[in-house]
């Protein structure tokens, strides 16, 4: 039963709320240190000054869900064979404390950025946008523009701490349908197709060390692949114990390589390297036909149901807990990442 709010007299709590005081009687720096040990959900629920402090650089960042989203409807043709040159990709962050979605700042438009996820000429296939989480940064590696050519000449990087975008070093050959992954803060791009298929690009492997100073950023060529079979489609490479593991195709096709995958019997498994076997973590109907998976801080985030659902599995609990996060209305999920929350948001 709902009741209407009742008028109440002004209290001391209201007074320190209006004055922006965190803890009456304590210096600001000491009050911040005390509040930093509290859980984010508790700090969020007490008062406005505490909530503002929660989203300031002074509070230890909690982690949020970052998603690449695309409109559910397909872009329309303006003329035969031509579409409006605009992005069909949006960048959003889901705050687990306030349970709300927030738009990320717009990426730089110089050079102009056009990322497509769908095209009227390819009704049965989505165009991949390949992205990574590297050293608490969101890194966009490859995509397709409105001319059906590689959209990125350089990686596009988002820093949640500063809330800003920037470009990395230019890759030797802009490409799509490559294998991408990271190991210990180093980004790897293998194979792929540029504006046209080239054998040397399809067999290439390059790395970029994001931890180095910007003046020393560059792509370095590594040992070539034995063939160009990894340019068939966009795949995620998995970093494991200093090694990069990848497959050349998705789905149930015969693969080359190894992959950490959600199988067709609706279960999530982990690899036990000591026993050299797969161990089932949880079996859920919602995991069927999973499209993308990311793991961080004891949680697994799975995109399923044609991008209309994000399933979060807490594998730190026994038995594993799970819950669903719905994307913003009218949008489907292209990819998800787990990164620190953005700072300096007014609440």
DSSP line for 230-278: GGSS-EE-EEETTEEE-BS--TTS--SB------TTSEEEEEETTTTEE
> 172, 202, 177: which is closest to 125 by C-alpha?
177
Alpha carbons 238 and 181: distance in angstroms, whole number:
6
Which pLDDT does position 74 carry in this prediction? 52
Query: What pLDDT tens digit does each residue of the chain (347 aa) get?
Result: 333 334 444 444 444 455 678 898 899 999 999 999 999 999 999 999 999 999 998 899 899 999 999 887 654 544 555 545 456 788 999 999 999 999 999 888 766 788 888 776 766 678 889 999 999 999 999 998 888 899 999 999 999 988 999 999 999 999 988 889 888 889 999 888 888 888 888 888 899 999 898 889 999 998 888 777 766 677 777 776 777 777 665 655 545 543 323 244 567 788 788 888 888 888 887 777 788 888 888 888 889 888 888 999 888 877 888 899 999 988 999 989 999 888 765 55
State CA 337 to chain mean position distance. 2
For residue 108, CA distances in Å to 104, 113, 158, 289, 321 come to: 12, 8, 11, 34, 39
Which pLDDT does position 252 carry in this prediction? 57
Segment (H or E) for 53: helix 48-54
Alpha carbons 117 and 133: distance in angstroms, whole number:
20
Alpha carbons 178 and 234: distance in angstroms, whole number:
5
CATH topology for the 63-259+335-340 domain: Neuraminidase (2.120.10)
Q: Are strands 235-236 and 179-183 parallel, antiparallel or unpaired?
A: parallel
In three-state secondary structure terms, 44 is: helix
Other beta carbons within 10 Å of 151: 24
Which pLDDT does position 18 carry in this prediction? 55
In three-state secondary structure terms, 292 is: strand
E-strand spans in 120-247? 130-134, 137-142, 156-159, 164-167, 179-183, 186-190, 205-209, 220-221, 235-236, 238-240, 243-245
Residue 202 has φ and ψ, to the nearest 5°, of -65, -20
Domain ranges (residues) in the chain: 12-54, 63-259+335-340
Angle at 293 between CA 91 and CA 283, to 5 degrees: 135
- Asked whether the beta carbons of 328 and 103 are under 8 A apart, the reply is no
Which pLDDT does position 297 carry in this prediction? 84
Alpha carbons 206 and 147: distance in angstroms, whole number:
25
Alpha carbons 131 and 79: distance in angstroms, whole number:
31
Which pLDDT does position 86 carry in this prediction? 53
> 136, 143, 157, 144: which is closest to 217 by C-alpha?
157
Alpha carbons 36 and 22: distance in angstroms, whole number:
12
- Asked whether the beta carbons of 179 and 246 are under 8 A apart, the reply is yes
DSSP symbol at 286:
G
Contacts of 209 (CB under 8 A, 6+ apart): 185, 186, 187, 216, 217
Which pLDDT does position 40 carry in this prediction? 93
């Amino acid at each position: 039963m709902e009741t209407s709010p009742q008028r109440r007299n002004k209290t001391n709590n209201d007074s320190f709320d209006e004055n922006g005081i965190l803890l009456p009687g304590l210096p600001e720096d000491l009050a911040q240190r005390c509040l930093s040990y509290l859980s984010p959900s508790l700090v969020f629920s007490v008062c406005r000054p505490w909530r503002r402090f929660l989203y300031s650089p002074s509070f230890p960042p909690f982690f949020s869900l970052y998603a690449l989203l695309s409109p559910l409807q397909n872009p329309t043709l303006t003329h035969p064979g031509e579409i409006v040159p605009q992005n069909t990709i949006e960048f959003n962050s889901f705050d687990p404390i306030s349970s709300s979605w927030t738009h990320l700042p717009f990426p730089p438009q110089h050079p102009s950025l056009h990322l497509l996820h769908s095209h009227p000429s390819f009704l049965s296939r989505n165009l991949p946008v390949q992205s990574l989480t590297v050293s608490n940064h969101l890194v966009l590696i490859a995509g397709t523009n409105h001319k059906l050519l590689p959209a990125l000449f350089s990686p596009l990087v988002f820093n949640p701490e500063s809330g800003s975008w920037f470009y990395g070093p230019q890759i030797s050959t802009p490409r799509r349908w490559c294998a991408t992954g990271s190991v210990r803060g180093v980004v790897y791009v293998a194979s792929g197709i540029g504006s046209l298929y080239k054998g040397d690009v399809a067999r290439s492997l390059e790395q970029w060390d994001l931890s180095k100073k910007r003046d020393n950023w560059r792509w370095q060529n590594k040992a070539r692949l034995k063939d160009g079979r990894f340019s068939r489609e966009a795949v995620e490479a998995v970093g494991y114990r200093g090694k990069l593991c990848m497959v050349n195709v998705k789905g149930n096709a015969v693969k080359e390589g190894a992959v950490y995958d959600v199988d067709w019997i609706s279960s999530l498994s982990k690899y036990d390297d000591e026993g050299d076997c797969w161990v089932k973590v949880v079996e859920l109907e919602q995991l069927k036909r999973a499209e993308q998976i990311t793991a961080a801080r004891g949680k697994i985030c799975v995109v399923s149901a044609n991008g209309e659902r994000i399933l979060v599995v807490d594998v730190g609990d026994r038995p594993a807990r799970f819950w669903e996060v719905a994307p913003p209305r009218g949008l489907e999920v292209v990819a998800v990442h787990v990164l620190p929350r953005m700072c300096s948001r007014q609440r």
